[in-house]
Structure 1
Amino acid sequence: MNYDRKLQPIPVRNQPGVYVEPRSESLLVTNKVLRNTYLLLSVTLLFSAAMAGLSMMLNVPYGVSLACSLISMGLLWFVVPRTANSVNGIYTVFAVTGLLGFGLGPVINMYLKGFANGPQIVTMALGLTGSIFVGLSVYAIRSRRDFSFMGGFLAGGIMLAFVLSLGLLVASFFGIQLQPLALAISAMFALLMCGLILYQTGEIVNGGETNYILATVTLYVSIYNLFTSLLHLLGFASNND
């Protein structure tokens, strides 16, 4: 193997006469996707928090939370993939995160008003979610490990958890309470969302994901589900103290 072979320079887009090596060009693209993803994620999290605060002030009923989740799910499955490569994708991301945030208000109110230590539960869940997300993101970015091997496992696990959640919802309509199953689903979702954060961040860092809109949606959904799962687990633990 000839180690003295020189890499052919390639031009930087929109900068005639400026050349970088192919690896440098790849790093520029990766850094741009990473920067745009975290910028959009930060803005959508703030927007979602504002919508949650609005729904809490309006004291909207719990049924609104379910409706918002169903609508946002439809947008995630059918609209986001079709608009991810256009400016309409950004509007869709705000629609999804706004709906999920508005639907989160009744859930938070339920913990604040239904538990003696409700504020502590919500604060702890929020703090844990933020700490876990930052920790996993920093690890994935600095280690630059390839987590693509987790893709199939995460897809299967999320599908299983989703089906079990639907079964739990149907059982609740008939007055059947399956608390152990509900706790197992919450724990499963929490672990899966941690894996999804690692997977998606690793895909960005290693060039496997170049669409910051899709990356933002994936990370937002991971944070949202991690927070709600931790709320349920901490609420259960509080009731059993």
Structure 2
Amino acid sequence: MIPSIQRPYDASAVRSSRHRVLRNTYWLLALSMIPTVLGAVVGVQFALPVLRGGIGLVLFLAIAFGFMFAIEKTKNSAAGVPVLLGFTFFMGLMLTPVLRLTLGYANGPALIMGAFGGTAVVFAAMATIATVSKRDFSGMGSWLFAGTIVLLLASVVNIWLALPALYLATLVLCVGIFTAWLLFDVQRIVNGGETNYITATLSVYLDVYNIFTALLQLLGIGFGQRD
């Protein structure tokens, strides 16, 4: 019987691999902001029609999940990055209604910059905690998934109820849930739970996107100034 040969565990190689995935994720995340901004500019400048109501939500989800399916299928090929960037351009277009509403305020540009700055602070804080903390946040996954489902259901219900209090509650909940998702997703990369930088970027991008849009709407509600 020939004894099996086991390779020695190379801790430095593992750390190097995880660091590479994290670095590539951050670079691709930064790159993804370019088509997002372009999509937003196109949407605002050409006043693209807004997807409203239940039909609009269904159409949005169909396109978004179609992109996500394509990203999953191409994540290990050369097409993965262009598909991801196409998705971020689409998500930029979807910012059209909230941006047009915000720009209707006298201090609209300041509100946009405030939401951008707030998102950047949240990202920096969560990324730092996820990287340096010894605490394992992987147990949050099931709770975050459940919270996201509740948030989605509440948002869908409020399409028909149009309750201001529920709308405000969903925005606050959105910021809290996706801030926690950001912590969870970055630590997964740091700990080696996510080894593909394209899907890692998709997860972190969605966290950042949702935090930004919720913060922007909250700032508009609290500080928007009419002419």
Q: TM-score, normalised by structure 2?
A: 0.87
One-letter code aligned to 1:226: I
Shift of residue 82, structure 1, vs aligned partner? 2.6
One-letter code aligned to 1:210: T
2:17 alignment counterpart: 29
Does the alignment pair 1:211 with 2:191?
no
For the Cα contact (< 8 Å) 2:185–2:200, is it kept in 1?
yes
Residue from 118, 124, 138 that aligns with 2:114: 124
How many percent of aligned residue pairs carry the same amino acid? 32
Distance (whole Å) between structure 2 residues aligned to residue 183 and residue 240 of structure 1: 18
SS state of the match for residue 121, structure 1? helix
Does the alignment pair 1:133 with 2:123?
yes
Does the alignment pair 1:105 with 2:96?
yes
Residue from 30, 45, 51 that aligns with 1:42: 30
Aligned residues: 217
SS state of the match for residue 62, structure 1? coil
Does the alignment pair 1:89 with 2:80?
yes
For the Cα contact (< 8 Å) 2:98–2:217, is it kept in 1?
no
Runs of 4+ off more than 4 Å: none
SS state of the match for residue 51, structure 2? helix
Distance (whole Å) between structure 2 residues aligned to residue 57 and residue 232 of structure 1: 20
2:70 alignment counterpart: 79
Distance (whole Å) between structure 1 residues aligned to residue 26 and residue 66 of structure 2: 21
Which structure 1 segments of 5+ residues have no match?
1-7, 11-20
Distance (whole Å) between structure 1 residues aligned to residue 208 and residue 14 of structure 2: 28
1:164 alignment counterpart: 154
Shift of residue 22, structure 1, vs aligned partner? 1.3
Shift of residue 240, structure 1, vs aligned partner? 9.8
Shift of residue 186, structure 1, vs aligned partner? 0.8
Distance (whole Å) between structure 2 residues aligned to residue 69 and residue 228 of structure 1: 16
Which structure 2 segments of 5+ residues have no match?
1-5
For the Cα contact (< 8 Å) 1:144–1:205, is it kept in 2?
no
Shift of residue 107, structure 1, vs aligned partner? 2.0
Distance (whole Å) between structure 1 residues aligned to residue 140 and residue 85 of structure 2: 28
1:70 alignment counterpart: 61
SS state of the match for residue 117, structure 2? helix
Distance (whole Å) between structure 1 residues aligned to residue 62 and residue 213 of structure 2: 18
Shift of residue 163, structure 1, vs aligned partner? 1.4
- Structure with max Cα Rg: 1
Does the alignment pair 1:55 with 2:55?
no
Distance (whole Å) between structure 1 residues aligned to residue 112 and residue 45 of structure 2: 16
Distance (whole Å) between structure 2 residues aligned to residue 104 and residue 130 of structure 1: 18
For the Cα contact (< 8 Å) 1:146–1:203, is it kept in 2?
no
For the Cα contact (< 8 Å) 1:44–1:97, is it kept in 2?
yes
Distance (whole Å) between structure 2 residues aligned to residue 119 and residue 44 of structure 1: 22
Shift of residue 77, structure 1, vs aligned partner? 4.8
Shift of residue 200, structure 1, vs aligned partner? 0.6
CA RMSD, Structure 1 to Structure 2 (Å): 2.3
Distance (whole Å) between structure 2 residues aligned to residue 100 and residue 144 of structure 1: 34
2:214 alignment counterpart: 229
Distance (whole Å) between structure 2 residues aligned to residue 159 and residue 91 of structure 1: 29
Shift of residue 49, structure 1, vs aligned partner? 1.1
Shift of residue 239, structure 1, vs aligned partner? 5.5
